[in-house]
Amino acid sequence: MAYDRFVAICHPLHYPTIMNPRLCGFLVLGSFLISLLESQLHNLIALQFTTFKDVKIANFFCDPSQVLNLSCSGTFTNIIVMYFVGALFGIFPISGILFSYYKIVSTILRTPSSGGKYKAFSTCGSHLSVVLFYGTGFGVYLGSAVSHSSRKAAVASVMYTVLTPMLNPFIYSLRNRDIKSTLKRLHSRLI
């Protein structure tokens, strides 16, 4: 998504050529295969555990770190693997997002018209909410191995599974003129 915004803002005339269906399919397939590889790695790690029979995880879905906390056997190697995979699959996407937004912001700041700047920044707002998704997901993924607070992990899990996906349509709806005028009228009534 960050690459799409990067091409749309930094190279708008070349967008149809660069973002062709084959590249889009490759990006989707690559994302799917990497997430499949990562999930299978967690399955292989979890299959080696000796766990209790009747244990409940205090979360609304099963994070790999929550399963790791239930292990009766030594988990040092598994924690190291989890940190390595988290760093590998977390640092590269985040650095790509940050680099693309650096290029986007520098391109937008060179735009002479204020209307063009506003329009470009408003299209990037919803995409920047994904950074919130990465931050909370990354925190739950790596933080639960250190901290054993299931309540904090559950709150962070709600952030990246419920709240962040709800923000994207809300941010897009704020770009609608009718909703903007309604919010302005509501704000003027409250003041």
Higher pLDDT, 171 or 26: 26
CA–CA separation, 188 and 26 (whole Å): 48
pTM, entire model: 0.65
Number of domains present in the structure of the chain: 1
Asked if the structure places residue 156 within a domain, the reply is: yes
DSSP H or E segment with residue 36: helix 21-47
Cβ-based neighbours of 123, under 8 Å, separated by 6 or more: 5, 8, 9, 175
Report yes or no: 64 and 145 within 8 Å, Cβ to Cβ: no
Asked if the structure places residue 28 within a domain, the reply is: yes
Residue 164: band (very low, low, confident or very high) from pLDDT cuts 50, 70, 90: low
CA angle 87, 44, 145 (to 5 degrees): 45
Residue 61: band (very low, low, confident or very high) from pLDDT cuts 50, 70, 90: low
Asked if the structure places residue 54 within a domain, the reply is: no
Asked if the structure places residue 55 within a domain, the reply is: no
Higher pLDDT, 132 or 121: 121
Q: What is the extent of the structural domain holding 85?
A: 2-49+60-190
